Chains A and B, each alone.
Chain A
Amino acid sequence: MRLPDSCGGSSGRMIELRHVLDFLPDLSTAFVQTILNSVLIFVTGMLLAMLHQITSALVVPNWISKGWSFWWRSVPEVSVIVLVYYGIGGPMNALGPREIGIMVLSLISSAYISLLIRAAHEQLDPRQVESARALGISRLRTQRLIVWPQILKHLRFPMIMYYADVVKQSALLSVIGVYGATMEAYRLGSDTFRYLEALVVVAALFFLYISVVEYLARLVGNKRRASPNDRVWWDRP
């Protein structure tokens, strides 16, 4: 369906650099807030994941622990954010949208980070722990000197990559009106009818930031990205 011109439906409108430059300061400030939110979500998620690991090792049955992880991984983030914010009253009324959003995304992150920690733990050779225990090293020292240094080595790459996911997830907080880059782009777009410029700027900010994070992840994890010069089986004569 073609829109009438009075609705802004004239095709061929191009992006105007003037508006891009106008929006850049506001959107950059909002993007910094998005990054702060994502760091907060990531750190809280990590702490909750540690708690989850400890409780599942000590008291909680394995099936409850797995079910908890599966629940948070299967239910869409935006669905939980919206339903918790609009649906649950009572003590949640005392919290603002930012707190609720960060809490929900932290819980979801904790499920994913728990999985990453478990996968890293499974890479560890159990004989190392048994040897340490046989040598009389205490359980705490075994964890501190043998287990965690190796787990951290395996965790570096997936954790940084997951942080990139958290940054993208934090854009969803705009759904409940939390101040951030997406919310600001939407506001600027509706105020000035310049959605194109506002969204292009915010998309570029996300793209650049996440590309840098991915690059760092590859650098730290010592992973090489495929180069256009690499030859694959298709190229063989």
Chain B
Amino acid sequence: MLSIAELRPFVSATGITIGVLTASILGGVVLCTISTFTYLAGGRAARFFVPLLLSVFRNVPIVIFLIFSQFVLPILFGLFMPALYNAVLVISLVIAAYTFDIVRGYIHGFDLQQVDAARVLGFSRRQIILAIVAPQFFLNQRENLFSIGLIGLKATAIASIVSVQEITHTANRIISQTAQSTIPIFVSTSLYIVIGLLLYAVAGLMWRQQRPHD
């Protein structure tokens, strides 16, 4: 039977997992916003190349990008980044790629009459985005955004391959140190489910805040 002290590394591992996930989601949102504005304002070339570039991050397994960023970027540019930052960078790009696909679909399917009405009322483009398009996007795409959060959570576990000390890595280390598997497996899977439920709760909170705009 494992003692509490032997399970203590899970505390810091959970912190690292949540930290990597949060940083990646924020990074993904920033990258997706930049991509979206480039896509909208960049003309035909941008409308061809931005989705193509991001589809690379959607269509190639994350594990390949992690190994690439860990082993190839130092050789190419002579710069070595800690595994944690590599993981955040790669997961951010993947989250941005998935989110951009949803945003693009939403942009192409958006009701033009609402935009026309806003224009007639004298709204600027910035106001149209902030007051009309974005609130409806967050409301209508809540489930999809939650799914992307889950993709990010799952990607944090892949970061264990490049020795990021997150939950899977810690569970594996405890199993190899103590030769006990049941409790580490139970604890690690429970932690992932709790973080998944937390994400779900955050998505629910967002939805409740957006509801009055509906």
Ranked nearest first, the 10 interchain pairs of A and B with the lowest CB-CB distance are: A76-B157, A87-B181, A11-B78, A171-B61, A74-B196, A228-B47, A76-B154, A210-B59, A233-B115, A79-B168
Q: In the complex the two chains form, what is the Cα distance from A172 to B41 in whole Å?
A: 38
Q: Does B80 contact A79, Cβ atoms closer than 8 Å? A: no
Interface residues of A (CB under 8 A from B): 1-3, 8-13, 70-71, 73-80, 82-83, 86-89, 164, 168-169, 171-172, 174-175, 182, 185-186, 189, 195-196, 199, 202-203, 206-207, 210-211, 214, 226, 228-230, 232-234, 236
Chain A binding surface, main DSSP class: helix
What are the residues of chain A within 8 A of B150 when measuring CB–CB?
73-74
How close is B141's CB to chain A, nearest CB, in angstroms? 16
Q: In the complex the two chains form, what is the Cα distance from A175 to B41 in whole Å?
A: 42
What are the residues of chain B within 8 A of A232 when measuring CB–CB?
40, 107-108, 110
What are the residues of chain A within 8 A of B188 when measuring CB–CB?
79, 83
Interface residues of B (CB under 8 A from A): 40-41, 44-45, 47-48, 51, 55-56, 59-65, 67-68, 71-72, 74-80, 104-105, 107-108, 110, 112, 115-116, 119, 125, 128, 133, 150, 153-158, 160-161, 167-168, 171-172, 175-176, 181-182, 184-185, 188-189, 192-193, 196-197
How close is A137's CB to chain B, nearest CB, in angstroms? 36
- In the complex, given contacts A75-B193, A175-B161, A207-B55, what are 11 additional A-B residue pairs having Cβ atoms less than 8 angstroms apart? A3-B78, A11-B77, A74-B196, A78-B63, A79-B160, A79-B192, A186-B67, A207-B56, A230-B108, A232-B40, A234-B107
Q: Does B157 contact A78, Cβ atoms closer than 8 Å? A: yes
Residue of A nearest to B197 (CB): A74
- A-B CB contact pairs (8 Å), 26 listed: A2-B80, A8-B75, A11-B79, A12-B78, A13-B76, A70-B196, A74-B150, A74-B197, A82-B172, A87-B185, A88-B181, A88-B185, A168-B59, A168-B62, A172-B63, A182-B67, A202-B64, A203-B60, A203-B68, A206-B60, A206-B61, A206-B64, A207-B59, A226-B108, A232-B110, A234-B125
Q: In the complex the two chains form, what is the Cα distance from A236 to B114 in whole Å?
A: 12
Q: In the complex the two chains form, what is the Cα distance from A102 to B184 in whole Å?
A: 22
Q: In the complex the two chains form, what is the Cα distance from A70 to B14 in whole Å?
A: 20
8 Å CB contact of B75 from A9, A83, A89: A9
